[in-house]
Amino acid sequence: MSQQTMGQGASGHQAAEEGASNYDVASVEAKWLPRWEEAKLFEPADDGSKERRYVLDMFPYPSGDLHMGHAEAFAMGDVVARYLKLRGFDVLHPIGWDSFGLPAENAAIKRNAHPAEWTYANIATQASSFKRYAISVDWSRELHTSDPEYYRWTQWLFLRFYQRGLAYRKNSPVNWCPKDQTVLANEQVVNGACERCGTIVTKKNLNQWYYKITEYADRLLDDMEPLKGHWPERVLAMQRNWIGRSEGAHVDFAIEGIGHKVTVFTTRPDTLYGATFFVVAADSALAAELVTEEQRAELEAYQEEVKKLSEIERQATEREKTGVFLGRYASNPLTGERMPVWAADYVLADYGTGAVMAVPAHDQRDLDFARAFGLPVKVVVETGEEDPEVSGIATAGEGKLTNSGSLDGLSKTEAIPAAIALLEANQSGKKTINYRLRDWLLSRQRFWGAPIPIVHCPECGEVPVPDEQLPVRLPENLRGEELAPKGTSPLAAAQEWVNVPCPRCGAAAQRDTDTMDTFVDSSWYFLRYTSPHDEQAPFDAEAVKNWMPVAQYVGGVEHAILHLLYSRFFMKVLYDLELVPVQEPFGALLNQGQVINRGKAMSKSLGNGIDLSEQLDQFGVDAVRLTMVFASPPEDDVDWADVSPAAATKFLARAWRLARDITSSPGVSAAEGDRALREQTHRSVAEAAELLDAHKFNVVIAKIMELVNATRKVIDSGAGAADPAVREATEAVAIMLSLFAPYTADDMWEQLGQQDFVARAAWPVVDETLLVRSTVTAVVQIQGKVRERLEVPADITEDELRELALAAENVQKFLDGRDIRTVIVRAPKLVNIVPA
């Protein structure tokens, strides 16, 4: 359905229809907003009287006011929440703010203020915009992660992880953004640059805190199985890739002149006889250790070059291969053959063991390297493809082993375990599983976050702050420049805050000065919503049991990996701690698209930004919401240049006038009403329910539009505004419309003489007998001769009838593959086909 359809259809009746009192967006909004607030419509009963459903929109960050992206995401989530409520569920639909983080801190530094000022002012602005936008949330559960009442529990949870050995500190090279002066998780480095500011990221050795997410890698993978069909497949795929489980073997190689063996990770131990050289990561400690004195200068020059590349560039297959011979030889543990040892940048220091056995015949990157440096290529699996040395293409398929001693004749699948058995027998290798996933680096040298609740004591070492001393509050006296990072955390400068007695022995000790990654805050907020004011625990076990998992989570695909992975990890740890009874936080996930303008993402530099509040002022909240949802299926982008909120306003007025014109009373039986309209009403309601379950919200709106048009037709031509079928239809319109345009819907509901709010109405009950369409016989002619008779619905459209007729068996037979010149359709009774 196109946007044009929205406002049109009134034609000749428009004047009469618009005659009486009319729809006024501003006064309708002004009338309902205070009434809703007072009625607290969306606080769940939470007493078990109804089945519970938890609907959640991804956590907003308090940057300025709401923007078009929020408007789309929250419009989608609200459709689901309002629908479930109408279907009789007790719905939990909360809101709060992910209010720690860098932007607040940067703003505070610039304005010589405290980050709390900027943060809470923005929250106030956004909250009032959300209210105007009529999101059906329970405001009594509002929370902010920067409130001490909240971060007290973020710290408490950290300590539970710590006690379980799942939070630890280690010194290691980390990604460092020189501009933001902070560490970044691998995930926050995009193409070698800081995700936030675009500065090229460097490495720095630092003592950092980690969460041991790697311990949960297998469960994070396995537990995705039941999410299939409920989460977008691409999100599951991204999670799977991020975890990157691969099965293979560790193989130990002796290196001449080096006192210990060097281990490689390989997924293809079956190709061991085809390994012709050995490669270590150029930037690894191993390369520096293995290199001979003669080759050292060359390696160091090469390392300088490598530093300038991003990880993505290093792994790109099409790049020309570079490397340095290290002057040493490794020996193949099965054959004893000598293999030269090289350093190259295509091998990564922090994957596997940072070293590989190179099998150029069967691995493309190894082959490219071998061809660049004239190293031998030895085929050990006969796949039937062209010789890699000739074609330049490594062969990776199934085949029989050759040139491989006792493995000869085995298939690749058989040879993998056989090779592992050989390695295990001579104690030079074993089966292993390798993951791409790294532990979660959670500490930040920034101010505006939850302080890590650890004290460093010269006597006792790391000492957890006792639970009853939580929260460890942020100092309140730092402002402006004092908050700026100086390579260490700004908290380090707050001496009176840092210096505390050791909680264990009383000696002079110091607080940890790092704060937590804000992803920690958002990894458990959905649990807090179930009992947001609990002062004894982060969440009430019973409340979690009642509400979790979230029935529908709604948000952007930009959170496909980290936020979802971290939240899933948290759930599993909390499950193991016996704090929650469920292991997966989000039962279903919906990713809405983006709002773009003229084909491009909105940006300052393109000057194509659209201001949400201007749109709301011009067209009204309902029209903007309706436009967002009507534009496309929720997953697709909405191009604001292609839609027409003005048409949406027109359509809403048209729907509203149905309610205005009705003269029958509430409760009147529709039984004697216009039969065709009744059928359409019941069919629309039944179809809308199915479409809503399938998240085809835009099509639901199209159905409502059709029903509005049909109802107007009956008012104008049939039994008129007094027909009880007109009331039935208009009530259905108001209820269905309330998912998208709550102001208009409530005003219609009131005009219809209903006492309560439409949000408290029930979804209309479908009368199954009205779903059976009345039928007529349609005649299909070919060149004027009747060739087929079809029983079709009386209200079949021309397109539907044309399609049915052309597909009919007899018609196909008589046409006998001939092309068709014209098809004349007179729905519902006649089709005439003229072959070419």
Map residue 438 onto helix, strand or coil.
Answer: coil
Q: What are phi and psi of 709, to 5 degrees?
A: -65, -45
Q: Residue 793: beta bridge partners? A: 775
What residues line the site for ligand ANZ (CB under 6 A)? Answer: 246, 265-268, 271, 281, 347-348, 351-352, 354, 356-357, 359, 362-363, 434
Between 151 and 277, whose beta carbon lies closer to ligand ANZ?
277
- Per partner kind, with CB cut-offs from 5 to 8 A, the member of ligand ANZ, Zn ion, none near residue 457 is Zn ion
- Per partner kind, with CB cut-offs from 5 to 8 A, the member of ligand ANZ, Zn ion, none near residue 504 is Zn ion
- Per partner kind, with CB cut-offs from 5 to 8 A, the member of Zn ion, ligand ANZ, none near residue 460 is Zn ion
Between 394 and 509, whose beta carbon lies closer to ligand ANZ?
394
What is the distance between the alpha carbons of residues 613 and 709, in angstroms, rounded to a whole number? 31
What is the distance between the alpha carbons of residues 329 and 344, in angstroms, rounded to a whole number? 15
Q: What tokens does 174 get?
A: 């980390």
Between 397 and 458, whose beta carbon lies closer to ligand ANZ?
397
Find all residues with CB under 8 Å of 484, minimum gap 6, and list them: 109, 181, 490
What is the distance between the alpha carbons of residues 404 and 764, in angstroms, rounded to a whole number? 72
Residue type, position 61, single letter:
Y
Minimum separation from the CB atom of position 549 to ligand ANZ (A):
31
- Of 474, 637, 533, nearest to 105 (Cα)? 474
- Per partner kind, with CB cut-offs from 5 to 8 A, the member of Zn ion, ligand ANZ, none near residue 265 is ligand ANZ
- Per partner kind, with CB cut-offs from 5 to 8 A, the member of Zn ion, ligand ANZ, none near residue 502 is Zn ion
What does the angle CA 426 – CA 432 – CA 436 come to, to the nearest 5 degrees? 145
Minimum separation from the CB atom of position 390 to ligand ANZ (A):
18
Residues of the chain by 3-state class (helix, strand, coil), percent to 5 = 45, 20, 35
- Of 366, 364, 296, nearest to 328 (Cα)? 296
If DSSP states are collapsed to H, E and C, what string results for 687-733?
HHHHHHHCCCHHHHHHHHHHHHHHHHHHHHHCCHHHCHHHHHHHHHH
Map residue 458 onto helix, strand or coil.
Answer: coil
Minimum separation from the CB atom of position 352 to ligand ANZ (A):
3
What residues line the site for Zn ion (CB under 5 A)? Answer: 457, 459-460, 502, 504-505, 507
Between 500 and 776, whose beta carbon lies closer to Zn ion?
500
What is the distance between the alpha carbons of residues 237 and 254, in angstroms, rounded to a whole number? 38
Between 366 and 584, whose beta carbon lies closer to ligand ANZ?
366
- Per partner kind, with CB cut-offs from 5 to 8 A, the member of Zn ion, ligand ANZ, none near residue 160 is none
Minimum separation from the CB atom of position 225 to ligand ANZ (A):
21
Would you list the DSSP string of 17-63?
Answer: HHHSS---HHHHHHHHHHHHHHHTTT----SSSS-EEEEEEPPPP--
- The answer to whether residues 264 and 458 touch, using CB atoms and an 8 Å cutoff, is no
Between 84 and 509, whose beta carbon lies closer to Zn ion?
509
- Per partner kind, with CB cut-offs from 5 to 8 A, the member of ligand ANZ, Zn ion, none near residue 56 is none
Minimum separation from the CB atom of position 312 to ligand ANZ (A):
13
Placement of tokens 């999670």 in the chain: 239
Minimum separation from the CB atom of position 263 to ligand ANZ (A):
10
- Per partner kind, with CB cut-offs from 5 to 8 A, the member of Zn ion, ligand ANZ, none near residue 347 is ligand ANZ
- Per partner kind, with CB cut-offs from 5 to 8 A, the member of Zn ion, ligand ANZ, none near residue 771 is none
- The answer to whether residues 183 and 175 touch, using CB atoms and an 8 Å cutoff, is yes
Map residue 779 onto helix, strand or coil.
Answer: strand
Minimum separation from the CB atom of position 425 to ligand ANZ (A):
20
Minimum separation from the CB atom of position 211 to ligand ANZ (A):
23
Between 359 and 705, whose beta carbon lies closer to ligand ANZ?
359
Between 358 and 491, whose beta carbon lies closer to ligand ANZ?
358
Between 276 and 531, whose beta carbon lies closer to ligand ANZ?
276
If DSSP states are collapsed to H, E and C, what string results for 137-185?
CCHHHCEECCCHHHHHHHHHHHHHHHHCCCEEEEEEEEEEECCCCEEEC
Q: 599: burial class by Cβ within 10 Å (0-12, 13-18, 19+)?
A: exposed
Minimum separation from the CB atom of position 369 to ligand ANZ (A):
11
Q: How many residues does the chain have?
A: 836
- Per partner kind, with CB cut-offs from 5 to 8 A, the member of Zn ion, ligand ANZ, none near residue 267 is ligand ANZ
How far does CA 298 lie from the centroid of its chain? 46
Minimum separation from the CB atom of position 362 to ligand ANZ (A):
3
Minimum separation from the CB atom of position 572 to ligand ANZ (A):
24
Between 502 and 564, whose beta carbon lies closer to Zn ion?
502
- Per partner kind, with CB cut-offs from 5 to 8 A, the member of Zn ion, ligand ANZ, none near residue 459 is Zn ion
- Per partner kind, with CB cut-offs from 5 to 8 A, the member of Zn ion, ligand ANZ, none near residue 246 is ligand ANZ
Between 74 and 369, whose beta carbon lies closer to ligand ANZ?
369
Between 282 and 454, whose beta carbon lies closer to ligand ANZ?
282
- Per partner kind, with CB cut-offs from 5 to 8 A, the member of Zn ion, ligand ANZ, none near residue 140 is none
Minimum separation from the CB atom of position 531 to ligand ANZ (A):
43
Map residue 830 onto helix, strand or coil.
Answer: strand
Minimum separation from the CB atom of position 414 to ligand ANZ (A):
16
- The answer to whether residues 452 and 465 touch, using CB atoms and an 8 Å cutoff, is no
- The answer to whether residues 491 and 497 touch, using CB atoms and an 8 Å cutoff, is yes
Between 111 and 203, whose beta carbon lies closer to ligand ANZ?
203
